[in-house]
Amino acid sequence: MSAKRRLEGGFDIWIWIRRAAAHLVLMAGGVIMLFPFYWMLSTSLKTQAEAQALPPTLWPTSMQWGNFAEVFATVPMARYLLNSFLIAVLVTIGTLVTSSLAAHAFARIEFPGRNVIFGVFLATMMIPFEVILIPDFILMHRLGWYNTYAALIIPWCSSAFAIFLLRQTFMTIPFELFEASLLDGCSHLRYLVSVALPLAVPALVTVGIVSFLGSWNSLLWPLVVTDIPELRPVQVGLAYFSTEAGTKYHLAAAAATVSILPIVLLYLVAQRQFVEGIARTGLKT
Amino acid sequence: MLIVAFHFAPVFYALFISLHKWSLIPERFVGLSNYVAVLRDEGFHQSLGVTIWYVLGTVPFAIGISLVLALMLFQPLAGRGIYRTIYFLPYVTSVVAAAVVWTWIYNPRYGVLNYVLTRLGLCDPQSPPQWLLEPRGVFELALSNFGVQPPAWAAGPSLALVAVTIMAVWNAIGFNMIVFLAGLGSIPKELQEAARIDGADEWKVFWHVTFPLLSPTTFFLFIVSTIRAFQAFNQIYVMTRGGPMGTTRTVTMYIFSRFYESHEVGYGAAVAIVLFLIILGFTLLQFRFASGRVVYQ
């Protein structure tokens, strides 16, 4: 048996063949996964004629960096990116603050109806966004928040998933530590900031990444609650631009490249945090 | 407070709205008549059919492919960090940008996909596949090669919907794979080693040890992916806007068009509630199916 031989430390040709096959499949798959990105970059640097040429060229014969300048000149791309960045950062900070406070309350403070309220919060995770889309839209109108940053940011500064994840993490911190801190005259807030949060960094990273990505990539909500270009986040801007650009695919590709660049750079720098953070969303806590 | 204000209370408000004739302003209470209209609405039936094809097309494939990838990447391969980075990339980047590029790849005249297929001799250059512009069902197209015209109910999802589905699978693989890798990592190695020492081959180890122990992860992914697939919007909004002939109009897309484009607020809310009940039903079905099949350590 191959397994026995491997345990004895012998060389096993089957393992070698299996690994080679795995490499082959993974490489072929990797090419498919990467191709759209490569094609976007390549198209973004072609002239319109070359972008539509048959047979297509794999790489532009001459680099048209001007395409990017043209995109920035046609639509306020910089403004879109800034909007998205501002919204995503504030949503992330807001979510971290509200969910830490709520999670602490659910984990360590006894108050009447605690379990009922927690159950209600968990139930909101089951509700599809479509159901609350229309009432929230009307609510925004009633609050006078239509076409404001408030509408884009404030409703998303809370997340039942974040509260759940952080509560589970806070529960794992020994109760004695909490009692000792209170005896030493620590306030709840002080305990949270200097004891609980430093122990919950991985969960905070997960919440941060999920909120940031969710906010950066959202389309339907900003599409519905804003209709002026100044407020558009980059996804909405790109969706409109790609429609307006029509057959000018070299420009649409350039805009798409610009829109994903910040996230891709962030991902390449903080890969480990991204991958482990997302993996944690799937683990039973 | 925020949760209650923006995520919980709105559910009741949605119920309230759905019971009214409500266009730009609330007009009058109409009881359940919006719901009766939804159940009779051909447009809704079509969008529900589209959504179910979409769910069936994305969820099993995305989970199956990513399980195979995760199993391969779980071995001590050289360069597996690089593979992981690559496969996860589509999940990180925005669906909107990816959809823009895929639209271009699928373009029937200038798209690189048809060019490659033509060169490989897989499609007729005189009438290349129209991908996102093709409203005819894939079974209908396949059978028409043999001169057979199937009945309308057997036409299958439109080629446009299949094209959107392929893009969605591409997009979802990274997330599933990462979650599977985490699940594989949490299985105690001793169990697999013990099976090997008892003489089980790799396939038996996978089928009798690894796969059952992985079942909570698989179940989690099925639940999450199904819910996500039922809510598909972004890539469809960018790639087809629900066309051609409504064959890619998912329920969410339909809600969007009734509520936002036609200002039928009450009606849109009723469709949303019906969608919620359908998702809930599917989720409960999955739980039912899983009970006894999912093994917890």
Domain match, A102 and A189 both: yes
pLDDT of residue A234: 92
Output the DSSP codes for A181-202.
HHHTT--HHHHIIIIIHHHTHH
Which residue reads 């060019």 in tokens? B115
* Dist CA B8 CA B6 (whole Å): 6
Whether B254 and B242 have beta carbons less than 8 Å apart is answered as yes
Q: Exposed, middle or buried by CB within 10 Å (0-12, 13-18, 19+), for A199?
A: middle
Do A16 and A114 reside in the same domain of the chain? no
Are both A19 and A137 inside the same structural domain? no
If one looks up domain B57-248 in CATH, what number appears? Answer: 1.10.3720.10
Residues A65-83, mean pLDDT to the nearest whole number: 90
User: Across residues B26-39, what is the average pLDDT?
Assistant: 77
pLDDT at A1: 41
**Domain match, A139 and A44 both:** no
State residue A284's pLDDT score: 47
Q: Where on the phi/psi map is residue B173: left (φ > 0), alpha (ψ -120 to 50), or beta?
A: alpha
CB contact under 8 A, A129 and B259: no
Q: Are the C-beta atoms of A279 and B175 separated by less than 8 Å?
A: no
Among A20, A35, A68, residue at a domain's last position: A68
Same domain, A76 and A63: no
**CATH number for the domain including A100?**
1.10.3720.10
Q: How far apart are CA A267 and CA A278, in angstroms?
A: 12
CB contact under 8 A, B178 and A278: yes
Residue B187 phi/psi, 5-degree rounding, is -85, 125
The answer on A42 and A13 residing in a single domain is: yes
Q: Which range has highest mean pLDDT (A141-150, A213-222, B32-41)?
A: A213-222
The answer to whether the CB of A254 falls within 8 A of the CB of A44 is yes
The two structure tokens encoding residue A217? 């990539």
Residues A57 and A126 in one domain: no
> How large is the average pLDDT for residues A57-86?
89
For the segment A221-239, what is each residue's pLDDT rounded down to a tens digit? 999 888 888 889 999 999 9
Closest-approach residue (CA) in chain B for A235:
B96
Domain boundary among A46, A68, A90: A68
pTM of the model as a whole: 0.88
Q: Which of A1, A4, A129 sits opposite B231 (nearest CB)?
A: A129
Residue-wise pLDDT for A9-22, tens only, equals 456 787 788 888 88
A211/A163 same-domain check: yes
The total of structural domains in chain A comes to: 2
Pick from B257, B239, B237: nearest CA to B44 = B257
pLDDT tier, B243 (very low <50, low <70, confident <90, very high otherwise): confident
Q: For residue A5, is pLDDT > 50?
A: no
In degrees and rounded to multiples of 5, residue B213 shows phi and psi of -70, -20
Across the interface, whether the CB atoms of A23 and B77 are under 8 A apart is answered yes
Residue A190 lies in domain = 69-281
Q: How far apart are CA B216 and CA B206, in angstroms?
A: 15
First to last CA, chain A: 39
Percent of chain A exceeding pLDDT 90 equals 25
Scanning A249-278 for CB atoms below 8 A from B yields 249, 252-253, 255-257, 259-260, 263-264, 267-268, 271, 274-275, 278
pLDDT band at A36 (very low <50, low <70, confident <90, very high): very high
Cβ of A29 and B87 within 8 Å?
Answer: yes
**What distance in Å separates the CA atoms of residue A5 and residue A151, rounded to the nearest whole number?**
64
Contact between B97 and A40 using a beta-carbon 8 Å cutoff = yes
pLDDT tens-digit series, residues B44-55: 999 999 999 999
Question: Which tens digits make up the pLDDT trace of A137-163?
Answer: 888 888 888 888 888 888 888 788 888
Asked if A213's CB is within 8 angstroms of B273's CB, the reply is: no
A155 DSSP 8-state letter: G
**Based on the domain organization, do A7 and A62 belong to the same domain?**
yes
Same domain? For A170 and A47 the reply is no
Over chain B, what HEC string results? CHHHHHHHHHHHHHHHHHCEEECCCEEEECCCHHHHHHHHCHHHHHHHHHHHHHHHHHHHHHHHHHHHHHHHHHCCCCCHHHHHHHHHHHHHCCHHHHHHHHHHHHCCCCCHHHHHHHHCCCCCCCCCCCHHHCCCEHHHHHHHCCCCCCCHHHCCCEHHHHHHHHHHHHHHHHHHHHHHHHHHHCCCHHHHHHHHHCCCCHHHHHHHHHHHHHHHHHHHHHHHHHHHHHCCCHHHHHHCCCCCCCCCCCHHHHHHHHHHHCCCHHHHHHHHHHHHHHHHHHHHHHHHHHCCCCCCC
Residues of A in contact with B9 (CB under 8 A): 135
A 190-229 near B (Cβ less than 8 A): 213, 216-217, 219-220, 223-224
Tens-digit pLDDT profile for residues B147-184: 778 777 778 888 999 999 999 999 999 999 999 999 99
**Same domain (yes/no): A54, A195:** no
Among A68, A83, A118, residue at a domain's last position: A68
Task: State the burial class of residue A23 (Cβ atoms within 10 Å of its Cβ: 0-12, 13-18, 19+).
Answer: middle
Tell me if chain B has a CB within 8 Å of the CB of A33. Answer: yes
Tokens found for residue A103: 């999670």
Taking one residue from A and the other from B, the number of pairs with CB-CB distance under 8 angstroms is 245
Claim to verify: residue A166 and residue A249 sit in the same structural domain: yes
**Least confident piece of the model among B32-36, B216-220, B244-248:** B32-36
